[in-house]
Structure 1
């Protein structure tokens, strides 16, 4: 609070607050109004009104008018710069013409202090409605006070948004048809001379008005999607009524007000059975209200009426819509319709019509008077055609789009679209699409393909075709209806669509063909006979590359042995490459390259030779089996399949490649001991006196981990061990040459125990607090070779 005393206190305080007002006016200008607008009533509009006229009167200048002055409006007593005493009252007129016909829910005006004479004194005001102000309003000719409005006092000082509730005043003015209301702000007469109660306020005293207009009469009323106004029949057990409800009220952010609806239903012959359903206003306008009428409320064959009105959250209601009448009809025609056609008879013959050729089909109700139309279609009844009269027939035109077996599904329907059992009419459509045969399927890239066109209709005179979706073109047919069409496909192939046309302009069905030219080079080798064994590994073989496209200048190739290169083609576009057969089969990938750098499709193929890989056998470590163990020596016998073998090159998994000389008969033996368990691969090649290296033999086997066995007479899992209990574990060796056990209890250091003459060792462990503990054990030889791990779990509880 501000409180300045002395003769100049009012002037000095006014100066202080003028400074404050300049700094904060923009920030607080809309605070109170915005706060009121932040909580709108349901289904209501909020309007911000500002004074269209304002004035104040001055007792010291009783005949001077202060109308729409661009200065703060003084209220109560104040002193001018000369120290002279004044008394003033403020008047504010608001235009209410925009509220005509509305229900006023709430109205609040907001005063903003600009100058306060003494903030230590509470605000003491009166608020009145008065007769209108004019440009001649003065202290002497002041408006007449009409009704006093309660206004709160308070110390909030200075007030940037002092609220004055004026709901009753605005409501009464609008109800009386007034287009404006004038508010007077003054200090009560008995205190009006007290300088400490004086204030000056911003002349813009905004008013927020929350008002409500009732919803408009609902529109677009429909029953099961049928608009009201015509004769309506419904067949569903619970028909759905919809209506569009709108409300003219809009929130400050442009959101429609919340609206609902009331639906009324009654039999037209028993209005007393009227029933209403209310949808509470919870959805923003505009809103399509929906009501699914309970099935038990409707009786088959009876006529009903329904009406709808809109409602909002403030008690606003629209007028009822005009009644919408409908009849309930849930019983369809009992007789399935008959279907006939002379153009497409059901006779199992392939001689009728064709794709694109229209035929007439007759649907007949077979005299069922309830039938007013038919539903029909190819895969289901979904198209509608009316009967020529109730119980009559209809004729439809149907054009097949494809040849082969066809089915029309037809149902008779009544006025409510209840359907009869369906009729399925089967017929055959003659194939008419021309046949396409590629006479030159091996044409090179860039050369045309000659397509033979054969008609499947009589009197064909021309063909129309499209290539890759381009504009349609035409080619004439010979006297027998045939034609030859030349098409040069794109590099990645082309699609040709075509149909024939008769002299009468009848079009056939459409056929299509995918035309492409294979640019894959031709790769051959005389060294690989078509029957009999191929060349042995190590032999130099020759391959010939021949083109399948024009302008080939070179070939790029690669093999499964990692060899690759490029070779220049001769004048005929051919080339020869010599390669060493390093494995029993050589895989080639070859591309041809034209002068403009275009690469062909790849040739990919295997050429199978004869393997000379040595044979590998072992009794200790047989292929594909688990055997032996870490440190256990195994012998691997090597037997040649090539002649003049002098040595073998071999390699065990992860070890360096080694060489072993062959015996006189070309065989050899490898003695080898693994250092750990797991799968191993042995790769072996033989080398002859000429230095020829054979292809490889891959020999895989698994080394048994030979892990020790752990037993316990007192602590074996899942036995629960008590904390402090001594546990005994017996370890049994499985490893050849095992000397000791290496073991570790969870959380402790690794320890060793010597293996006794019986192959066992006994260790102990005192259980500690905890839950699960583990023991890990391996056997170890004197050379440091370790077996696989064995684990056991100890449960302490």
Structure 2
């Protein structure tokens, strides 16, 4: 049988097809791709059994008398879930015989035909007839390496039938390519909150930490994080939200809009009709990227109170009664606020106009009352404007209280 011309091949670093099940809500996400570069290579020859060809400038040959080995980088997928992986070369001339791909032991400068690494596992055999690209699927081998934390793999190429005199050859500068489709799960959501803020009235009243919301369509929010990159930018990520009565059956589930950022807030507004005034609920969230999910957050409870106080508060003071001249400069007098029939009063927002105007919020006691201690610094008319604030931060009608300091 005559010896055929050697066949030159080159690496093609393009992506390849893989199998994955994306989120039904956000179809066709892009997976991260890692291209494992060649770290070292050598070949061995039966015709020169004691000679090393470590990182040689010669052509790398695979055939009856020659075998080639390549160490390829896998450090970028350590600990990741492998979706697919392929090692491939591209030939550009001639025919060739079937070639076996093996996972082998380490190669060194001392590797020769007589000192070959162990041939650990045959990963496949490929015939290069009919196509310019020769491909071997190596997902199983890369999966094991990623799980074990191995930062590179060494592959060997040899003729499937060493009795065949045809030869499969590669030029040194056109080495094989290892393309790996992988994924790391996104981080568990952080910074769970209800926006624009829990129970916030307007300035300068502080947020009232009661866990109640003034709307039946609150916006749930949390911070998502995913370090993977897909294509030319960060991988898409979104949040999946669930809500239910406290300790009850699931009421609803929805996903936020996807975002291509490594760190991004995810927001979901609960649709109308799902939550009732006076109800107590809880919600949780997880991060998703179309291939993997984070763990669920803990359940976070909140209440809904959409009915603001229906009555203006009552205001009384023994020292400074309404519309009377009384007390005096430097004379302290308590001003007592009460719900006046309003339900679920958590506190009072008030403005006291005097020589030194005061804008403040005072929390209510268990019975709904609160006390404003007042010591005037100037004589004359004073005006108090006050509103009841419920547990959701919603204000009721305003009460104006006028009095005069002697």
Match of 1:239 in 2: 218
CA shift, 1:324, in A, is 0.7
What whole-Å deviation, never above 9, does each CA across 1:528-561 have from its counterpart, x for those lacking one? xxxxxxxxxxxxxxxxxxxxxxxxxxxxxxxxxx
Matched residue of 2:139: which SS? helix
Would you say 1:48 and 2:35 are equivalent positions? yes
Matched residue of 1:372: which SS? strand
- Contiguous gaps of at least 5 residues in structure 2: 19-27, 200-208
Matched residue of 1:226: which SS? coil
In the TM superposition, 1:305-384 aligns within 5 A as: 305-314=282-291, 316-339=292-315, 347=323, 362=335, 364-366=337-339, 370-377=344-351, 383-384=360-361
Which structure is higher in RCO with an 8 Å CA cutoff and minimum separation 6? 2
CA distance in structure 1 between the aligned counterparts of 2:302 and 2:190, rounded to whole angstroms: 17
Q: 8 Å contact 2:190–2:222 — kept in the other structure? A: yes
Would you say 1:147 and 2:119 are equivalent positions? no
What whole-Å deviation, never above 9, does each CA across 1:319-373 have from its counterpart, x for those lacking one? 1101111222333334312346799986499xx99xxx9x988350256573221
Matched residue of 1:313: which SS? coil
For the structure 1 residues 144 and 294, does the alpha-carbon distance in structure 2 shift closer, same or farther, using more than 3 Å as the test? same
Q: 8 Å contact 1:372–1:414 — kept in the other structure? A: yes
Match of 1:121 in 2: 94
Say which of 62, 74, 85 aligns to 1:76. 62
Match of 1:543 in 2: none
- Contiguous gaps of at least 5 residues in structure 1: 1-5, 22-27, 78-85, 114-118, 431-797
Match of 1:210 in 2: 181
CA shift, 1:250, in A, is 2.4
The total of aligned residue pairs comes to 374
Q: 8 Å contact 1:337–1:363 — kept in the other structure? A: no
For the structure 1 residues 64 and 360, does the alpha-carbon distance in structure 2 shift closer, same or farther, using more than 3 Å as the test? farther
Matched residue of 2:62: which SS? strand
Would you say 1:134 and 2:134 are equivalent positions? no
For the structure 1 residues 177 and 231, does the alpha-carbon distance in structure 2 shift closer, same or farther, using more than 3 Å as the test? farther
For the structure 1 residues 327 and 398, does the alpha-carbon distance in structure 2 shift closer, same or farther, using more than 3 Å as the test? farther
For the structure 1 residues 347 and 302, does the alpha-carbon distance in structure 2 shift closer, same or farther, using more than 3 Å as the test? closer
CA shift, 1:234, in A, is 2.0
CA distance in structure 1 between the aligned counterparts of 2:246 and 2:265, rounded to whole angstroms: 25
Matched residue of 1:216: which SS? coil
CA distance in structure 2 between the aligned counterparts of 1:301 and 1:216, rounded to whole angstroms: 34
In the TM superposition, 1:654-733 aligns within 5 A as: none
What whole-Å deviation, never above 9, does each CA across 1:724-776 have from its counterpart, x for those lacking one? xxxxxxxxxxxxxxxxxxxxxxxxxxxxxxxxxxxxxxxxxxxxxxxxxxxxx
Would you say 1:88 and 2:66 are equivalent positions? yes
CA shift, 1:258, in A, is 0.5
How high is the TM-score relative to the length of structure 2?
0.73
What whole-Å deviation, never above 9, does each CA across 1:415-443 have from its counterpart, x for those lacking one? 2223322213457999xxxxxxxxxxxxx
For the structure 1 residues 382 and 73, does the alpha-carbon distance in structure 2 shift closer, same or farther, using more than 3 Å as the test? farther
Would you say 1:287 and 2:260 are equivalent positions? no
For the structure 1 residues 361 and 247, does the alpha-carbon distance in structure 2 shift closer, same or farther, using more than 3 Å as the test? farther
Would you say 1:173 and 2:144 are equivalent positions? yes
Match of 1:262 in 2: 240
Say which of 296, 309, 318 aligns to 2:273. 296
CA shift, 1:264, in A, is 1.4
Match of 1:101 in 2: 79
CA shift, 1:241, in A, is 1.0
Q: Which protein has the larger Cα radius of gyration, Structure 1 or Structure 2?
A: 1
Q: 8 Å contact 1:239–1:292 — kept in the other structure? A: yes
CA distance in structure 2 between the aligned counterparts of 1:382 and 1:260, rounded to whole angstroms: 41
